[in-house]
Structure 1
Amino acid sequence: MIVQIKGNVKFPITLDPTVWIFDDRKKSFNEVFHPEITEDKTDEAEDELKRKSLRFDREVYQQKLNPPVNKSLHRKEKERIFTDSFMMPIKPFIHTSEPDSSVEEAVLITDDGSITLSADRFAEGLLLFSKDGKPLKEGGPVHLYFKDKGENQQPITGIKEIFFQ
């Protein structure tokens, strides 16, 4: 359940999509492909969160308790994790691996062979790592989507390795 980035890069890295569920950079599938729907929900959720936050602050400060050290997930976020599908932009990981300036192509090694994309095009991709609150086991660990192709595109599945050349 890992994906390796290697080839003509300064720092080969190994990605573990199972821990991305706790990453703040993740986006829900609907946020990416249906932003108009999620805006309404986030406004309602933010209003609810503000009300709860004010109540919590009153209770905590009245009792003079110290705030928690670690940021914990609120109930709505926990529910989302178990029901939504999530994607992660690939660009931060490419930046971390520091491909050489001569890199022009990204070769994706999949269960069905290899697929070659331009490095710039690949950097625009989003990796689906969770569907309906579960890690991708079939055709996983990640599926590659492109925002400009829409939600009905045929993703690249079964990616095991990303090789820059």
Structure 2
Amino acid sequence: MIVQLTGKVNYQITLDPTVWIFDDRKIEMESAFTASNDNPEEDSEEVLKQASTRWEREINQQSSKPPVNRSINRFEKEQILKGTYLMPIKDFLETAEIESDANQARLVLNNQEEVISLSLLKDSLFLFAENGKPIKDNGPVHVYFADGSNRQEPIKGVTKIIIE
């Protein structure tokens, strides 16, 4: 149930998706690929609020990495344990410090490999929990591209990422 990040990186890291369920960086599946264009004013206001929240989170995280979770109440915990969640890959790639000459990533799956561009990987998301439970079938993670282009057919069963 782990994912190794190796290759042209300064720091090889091992990711354990089973501990991400209470991580503040996770994104709910329902909101990850939706973009409403009904009211442009509301959209720009929402973007501004999200940017403000990210800025505050980044400032707070500079002194403590990985992020420290805020305390949650019982109701929030029950809701979290029912959701389907994605985790942005970008933070992990930054932690590994990718070498400047790297340009692609080889995703090692349970029974094959798939090569994608490094820029595509940087904006991708890991699906790590369905209905509050770790991914067992074709796990430990599935990779979704940020634009949602592979939403119907994500890359499943990723166990290792080799930066090349």
Same fold (TM over 0.5): yes
1:38-77 Cα deviation digits (max 9, x unpaired)? x9xxxxxxxxxxxxxxxxxxxxxxxxxxxxxx94212332
Structure label with greater radius of gyration: 1
1:132-162 Cα deviation digits (max 9, x unpaired)? 1111000101000013125742000110100
Aligned to 1:12: 12
Aligned to 1:22: 22
Q: Which runs of 4+ in 1 moved over 3 A?
A: none
Matched, 1:124 2:103: no
Q: Tell me, which stretches of 5 or more residues in structure 1 are unaligned?
A: 40-69
Matches within 5 A, 1:1-165: 1-34=1-34, 71-149=70-148, 152-165=151-164
Distance 1:96 1:11 in 2: 8
Seq. identity, %: 44
Distance 1:107 1:17 in 2: 19
Distance 1:150 1:117 in 2: 14
Q: Which moved more, 1:3-12 or 1:71-80?
A: 71-80
Kindly tell me: are residues 151 and 82 of structure 1, through their superposed partners in 2, closer, same or farther at Cα, counting changes over 3 Å?
A: farther
The secondary structure found in structure 2 opposite 1:120 is helix
Distance 2:161 2:85 in 1: 20
Q: Which moved more, 1:24-33 or 1:151-160?
A: 151-160
Q: TM-score, normalised by structure 2?
A: 0.75
Q: Tell me, which stretches of 5 or more residues in structure 2 are unaligned?
A: 37-41, 43-68
Higher helix share: 1
Distance 1:33 1:151 in 2: 11
Q: Which moved more, 1:151-160 or 1:8-17?
A: 151-160
Aligned to 1:55: none
How large is the Cα RMSD of the aligned pairs? 1.9
Distance 1:6 1:151 in 2: 24
Kindly tell me: are residues 151 and 109 of structure 1, through their superposed partners in 2, closer, same or farther at Cα, counting changes over 3 Å?
A: closer
Matched residues, number: 133
